[in-house]
């Protein structure tokens, strides 16, 4: 579908690196291992759902730019017409924004109407699954998601994204934070219910004091 030069561009800027750091054997999952073993990378942990939030910036061996590029390239490719036995997702005007991002030299930037989360699979059973990009509609935004062995990527686009509580806490584009979680509901529980009501300090999840008179 794409020319050789475009395929090479996508491969060099993210695909080769990302695929090589995902689950490659029963005992080898480089990306997950790098996050869990990095000192001071753990920002928050929810024992109830076995979901943890890690800061990927500065972790030796993790290239956040390549991870970002790869994930966004999959969403863009998933919106192209001409796939066999696959219905493209609809990105509307954001398809061109993603295309310009992929063609631009680093540092690359997207509008604040685009948010993306990277979910590394904690459950080795889930790692076997692969799901092509698909979409769900919410008020003011679309949520697009795909899954490959070891990684789920979720992208929110639309005018309602900047106003969503909790979006900025886990958004990879803004924070370079990566979530290790056994499933999507656990991720939604942590981000939607806890990160929006808490602050991260000293690597612990601490509830923000309730004070209606505070500015």
In-domain check, residue 126: yes
Q: Are 150 and 31 in contact (CB under 8 A)?
A: yes
209 domain-assigned? no
Instruction: Please give the residue that has the higher pLDDT: either 129 or 132.
Output: 132
- Domain presence at residue 206: no
Instruction: Please tell me the pTM assigned to this model.
Output: 0.84
pLDDT digits (tens, 9 = 90+) for 135-178: 999 888 999 999 998 999 999 999 888 877 667 667 899 899 99
Query: What was the pLDDT predicted at 183?
Result: 74
Q: Among 5-14, 87-96, 159-168, which is the least confidently predicted range?
A: 159-168
Is residue 213 a part of any domain in this protein? no
Structural domains of the chain, count: 1
In the prediction, which pLDDT does 192 show? 53
In a domain, 120, yes or no: yes
Q: Answer positive or negative: Cα dihedral of 187, 211, 112, 137.
A: positive
CA 67 from centroid of its chain's CA atoms: 9
**Could you list the residue range(s) of the whole structural domain that residue 87 is in?**
4-201
């Amino acid at each position: 579908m794409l020319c050789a030069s475009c395929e090479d561009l996508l491969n060099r800027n993210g695909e080769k690196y990302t695929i090589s750091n995902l689950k490659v054997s029963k005992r080898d999952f480089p990306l997950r291992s790098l996050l869990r073993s990095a000192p001071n990378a753990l920002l928050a942990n929810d024992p109830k759902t076995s979901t943890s939030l890690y800061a990927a910036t500065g972790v030796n061996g993790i290239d956040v730019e390549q991870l970002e590029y790869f994930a966004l390239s999959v969403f863009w490719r998933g919106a192209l017409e001409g796939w066999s036995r696959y219905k493209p997702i609809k990105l509307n005007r954001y398809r061109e924004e993603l295309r310009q991002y992929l063609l631009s030299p680093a540092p690359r930037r997207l509008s604040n109407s685009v948010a993306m989360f990277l979910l590394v699979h904690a459950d080795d059973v889930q790692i076997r699954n692969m799901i092509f990009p698909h979409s769900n509609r919410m008020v003011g935004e679309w949520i697009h998601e795909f899954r490959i062995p070891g990684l789920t990527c979720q992208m929110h686009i639309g005018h309602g994204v900047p106003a969503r509580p909790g979006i900025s806490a886990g958004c990879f584009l803004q924070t370079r934070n990566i979530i290790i979680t056994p499933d999507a509901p656990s991720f939604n529980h942590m981000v939607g219910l806890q990160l929006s009501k808490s602050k991260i300090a000293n690597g612990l999840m601490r509830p923000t004091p309730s004070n209606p008179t505070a500015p």
